[in-house]
Amino acid sequence: MTRRNKTYLSRQKSLRRMTNLSDLTSFLMAGFGASRSMVVKKDILNMLITLRQPLSYLAVAS
Where along the chain do its domains lie?
A: 1-32
Whole-number pLDDT of residue 38: 92
Rounded to 5 degrees, φ, ψ at 54 are -60, 150
Please give the model's pTM, rounded to 2 decimal places: 0.56
Contact residues for 10 (Cβ-Cβ < 8 A; gap 6+): 33
Residue 62 pLDDT exceeds 60? no
Burial (CB < 10 A; 0-12, 13-18, 19+), residue 37, is exposed
**8-54 pLDDT per residue, tens:** 777 777 666 665 656 788 788 878 888 888 999 999 999 888 888 77
DSSP for 17-45 reads: HGGG--SHHHHHHHHHHH---HHHHHHHH
Whole-number pLDDT of residue 43: 92
